[in-house]
Each structure stands twice: as C-alpha cells, then as structure tokens.
Amino acid sequence: MSRSLNLLIGLLLVYAVGMLAPIVPTGKPTTALRFGFLDIGQGDAILIQTPDGYNALIDTGANIGRLRQELARFLPMPMRLDLLVLTHPDLDHFGAAEELVFSSEVGVVMTVDTAKSDWRLQGLNAAILQRVGGIMYINDNHDFRLGCCTEFDVLWPGDNLITKRETEVNEVSVAFVVKYNKFRAFLGGDLGSEAELQALHNCDPTLCEVYLHKLGHHGSKYSSSLDVLKATQPRLAVVSAGWGNLYGHPHQDVLQRLSDLNVEVWRTDLQGTIYLVTDGLSFVSVESLKSLEKKELKI
C-alpha cells in the first residue's frame, strides 16, 4: 500500500466518524475487544485489538527491544499496525516509536501538537513522514471509530487549550474513552488530576463511568485523585509502570484510594503484561502473562 494511500485512509478513518474505515484490517476478526498493557519497563505501551481485526498501539515506551518482544505475543511478523497514537512527546511514551515506524508497517500516526522539539522528536517526525506520509494532530474534536464497532471518544486536549507547549507536556496528553458495546476504558496518558477532571467534563456525565481506568502518569500521586476516580467509577485499574522504577510509581496514596473504592488493581511492574479480553456485553477476562493469574469478571 502506498504511503499517500495510507495517509488518505488515515483521514477517512478519523473524519468519517460513524463510517466503517475502508481498509482491510491487519488482524483476524474475533468477537472480542482485546487490550495488551505491555510490560515495557517504565512507560506506556497499550495494544488495542478490535473485534474486526484492527490493531492500534497507544504509546511505545522507550525500549524498542522490550516493545517488539511484547508485541510479538499478539502480532504476527511482519508487524503491522493500523494506528499508532503517541499521547505526548515524552520519551517513556514515544522513545521506541522511530524504530517501530522503520521496522513495521504503520497506517496512521496521531499525536498532540506541541512546540517541544529535540533531536529525538525531529528523527521521529522524519521517520513518520518517510514511512507513513504524515502525522495527524488531534484534540477533543477528533472522536473516531476504528473498524465497525470500537469508538474512541477523544476528551483531551481541548482545541482551546494552548497545545503549543514546550514544557509540561504531560498536561496535554491525549486522553480518550475506548468504547465497545457496554465496555468502556479511560486512557489518559500522563495527565495530572486537574487535567483529568477537566477531560472528564468533556464526556457525557453518565459516560464518564468506565469499567477500566488506566491510571494517570504511571500511578503518580498527582494523578487519579479521589474526585477523578469517583467520576470514572472503575471496576478495574491498570498501572503501567516499570519494576523497581525510581519514581515510586504507583504511589501508595493512589493504591490506598483504589483500595478505599474497592477497585481491583493490575500492575505491569509486578504482573508483567496484562491481557484483557471482553465481548463488551457480559464478560471481561483479565490475565497476567507473567504469573498466569487470571480472573473472569461479569460486566
């Protein structure tokens, strides 16, 4: 497929909300939505596989070796991704993206527009331009659907927000709710609690409630406040953090909040890659691919 066609597909994918994306998915259709919260060390890398076979990766972490190793559990070679979303330009979220783009086929790349620029970002931008054809900058006006039935309700950043930031890029992380039937998951990059709350104000109040909440900023105590967690009312929380990380993520205060609210916590630092499967209607299955601990839950 030509790069220009890839870019065209990307435009159709994003702007034709409500339409079936007119591309052949890279994976095999199933009846379930699947998430892989990949254990790539300190950082985020979340694979989403739609029921009709589309593959989306949210962030790449910083270590291409770890990323490829974990992706290989889910994707056949040669590796193909329909969509890559880079939530914000910090290394623990985009550091492996340049090598991934060069070594895999990526259909569309989305990220947030900031003024941050360094040699790593310049290299990444050049790689995306060469291999994908361009970057799509998104904000909360860019809700989209991937395939037939998996919706991405983009909540943040607002288009009125100053996104041309060079610093504090955590606070303009792309945040969205992924929806499939009755199942909802909130993914908010590295947003702090204040921005998380503002982002959640951008969704219908009843739709802010989610089944799964990926904790903000790897479980930092400045994210996922009590107010945030009361807004999303998750059944499950996932922490994406590196084993023995120097930041103390996830913070004890956050774990206490989750405990107080009876939210079940799964952690990549302790349990390795977390694999979640749901039909969006009746069941959610969560499994640690490291310890093989597994739970079957009802929606």
Residues that bind Zn ion (CB under 5 A): 92, 190
- Take residue 230 and report the two structure tokens written for it: 């009361």
Pairing, β 46-49 against β 55-58: antiparallel
Cβ(126)–Cβ(93) below 8 Å: no
Cβ(97)–Cβ(121) below 8 Å: no
| Side chain identity at residue 219, one-letter code | G
Q: Which of 230, 181, 237 is nearest to 209 (CA)?
A: 230
User: How near is the Cβ of 42 to Zn ion at its closest, in Å?
Assistant: 8
Nearer to Zn ion by C-beta: 38 or 277?
38
Residue with tokens 């921005």: 195
User: How near is the Cβ of 245 to Zn ion at its closest, in Å?
Assistant: 10
Cβ(265)–Cβ(258) below 8 Å: yes
- Take residue 99 and report the two structure tokens written for it: 């090598």
Nearer to Zn ion by C-beta: 61 or 272?
61
User: How near is the Cβ of 15 to Zn ion at its closest, in Å?
Assistant: 29
User: How many angstroms separate the CA atoms of 113 and 174, rounded?
Assistant: 10
Nearer to Zn ion by C-beta: 224 or 278?
224
User: How many angstroms separate the CA atoms of 176 and 164, rounded?
Assistant: 20
Nearer to Zn ion by C-beta: 92 or 99?
92
For 187, which DSSP code? E
81 forms bridges with which residues in the sheet? 106
- Take residue 297 and report the two structure tokens written for it: 């839950």
Nearer to Zn ion by C-beta: 159 or 168?
168
User: How near is the Cβ of 93 to Zn ion at its closest, in Å?
Assistant: 5
User: How near is the Cβ of 235 to Zn ion at its closest, in Å?
Assistant: 24
User: How near is the Cβ of 47 to Zn ion at its closest, in Å?
Assistant: 17
User: How many angstroms separate the CA atoms of 56 and 35, rounded?
Assistant: 10
Nearer to Zn ion by C-beta: 105 or 253?
253
Question: Quick check: helix, strand or coil at residue 190?
Answer: coil
User: How near is the Cβ of 92 to Zn ion at its closest, in Å?
Assistant: 4
Residue count of the chain: 299
